């Protein structure tokens, strides 16, 4: 006697969701099948075994589609290199910006990057870490050679963002510990950039901290390592890649 698998599915407690790549998800309902089994007691043991096996099927084995994003708002990825971490006294030396859609696809592959000139007096007042790091990466020399003013940098950055995010307060500032970058962008000519963006931020470092506290050891060990280049372009592209990792491992697509 052939076993009616669809009938067994119908008796599984709770709605049975069929996941497909064509939303919306459909719920199967076969109430008429239950009567077939209640009227045939000799099938109960077969049904029980099949339901036990069915319950052990993990939904991750079913095809998973990227869900329709609940927010289509783009992410504006920005990393700044500064003379220090005090937004009141330190200055931005370098800015790099990439923009992705809500699903982390780059809207434009080249990005925006600029190095801002600062006088020698500002560079000489950097702390030891900045003097060593920016000297090693060549950023200090690039700053000295640059003729770009903070006002020019802010204007160009805003124009780049507006080209791909034409509506105000739609794009979310994103990056690693991006609250620090936001503090510097809140100063002087850069304020116009923040005013164009949404007040919320997407901080990749916050996800990292969640994984450190609640993730499995296997997940924690597989988090991409940082190269610690400390150049804005390298750092922000790493942030996007890290977020793609978390999206895949934590949200399944």
Sequence spans of domains, the chain: 5-61, 75-251
Instruction: Tell me the per-residue pLDDT of 17-66, one tens digit each, with 9 for 90 and over.
Output: 333 333 444 334 444 444 444 555 555 565 556 545 544 443 344 444 44
Fold of the 75-251 domain: Nucleotidyltransferase; domain 5 (3.30.420)
Q: Which residues are catalytic?
A: 230
Q: Which of 107, 26, 20, 106 is nearest to 64 (CA)?
A: 20
Decide if 6 contacts 29 (C-beta within 8 A).
no
Quote the CA–CA distance of 133 and 130 in Å, as a whole number.
Answer: 5
What average pLDDT values come out for the chain (253 residues) when binned by 10 residues?
47 40 40 49 56 44 48 95 97 99 96 98 97 98 98 99 98 98 97 98 96 94 90 98 95 84
pTM of the entire predicted model: 0.74
pLDDT score at 212: 94
* Tokens representing residue 9 in the block: 């599915």
Instruction: Tell me the per-residue pLDDT of 172-194, one tens digit each, with 9 for 90 and over.
Output: 999 999 999 999 999 999 999 99
Burial (CB count <10 Å: 0-12, 13-18, 19+), residue 121: exposed
pLDDT score at 49: 60
CB atoms within 10 A of CB 184: 20
* Tokens representing residue 230 in the block: 């400390």
């Amino acid at each position: 006697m052939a076993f009616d698998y669809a009938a067994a599915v119908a008796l599984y407690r709770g709605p049975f969701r069929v996941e497909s790549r064509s939303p919306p998800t459909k719920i199967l309902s076969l109430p008429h099948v239950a009567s077939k089994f209640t009227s045939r007691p000799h099938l109960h043991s077969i049904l029980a075994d099949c339901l036990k096996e069915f319950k052990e099927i993990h939904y991750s084995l079913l095809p998973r589609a990227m869900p329709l994003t609940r927010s289509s708002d783009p992410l504006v990825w920005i990393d700044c290199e500064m003379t220090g971490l005090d937004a009141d006294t330190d200055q931005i030396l370098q800015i790099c910006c990439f923009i992705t859609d809500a699903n982390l696809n780059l809207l434009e592959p080249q990005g925006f990057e600029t190095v801002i000139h600062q006088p020698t007096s500002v560079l000489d007042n950097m702390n030891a870490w900045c003097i060593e790091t920016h000297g090693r990466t060549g950023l200090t020399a690039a700053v000295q050679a640059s003729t770009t003013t903070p006002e020019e940098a802010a204007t160009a950055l805003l124009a780049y963002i507006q080209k791909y995010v034409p509506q105000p307060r739609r794009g979310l500032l994103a990056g690693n510990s991006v609250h620090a970058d936001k503090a510097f962008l809140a100063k002087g000519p850069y304020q116009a950039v923040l005013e164009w963006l949404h007040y919320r931020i997407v901080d990749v470092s916050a996800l990292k901290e969640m994984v450190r506290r609640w993730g499995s050891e296997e997940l924690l060990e597989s988090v991409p390592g940082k190269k610690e280049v400390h150049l804005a372009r390298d750092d922000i592209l790493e942030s996007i890649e890290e977020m793609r990792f978390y999206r895949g491992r934590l949200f399944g697509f």
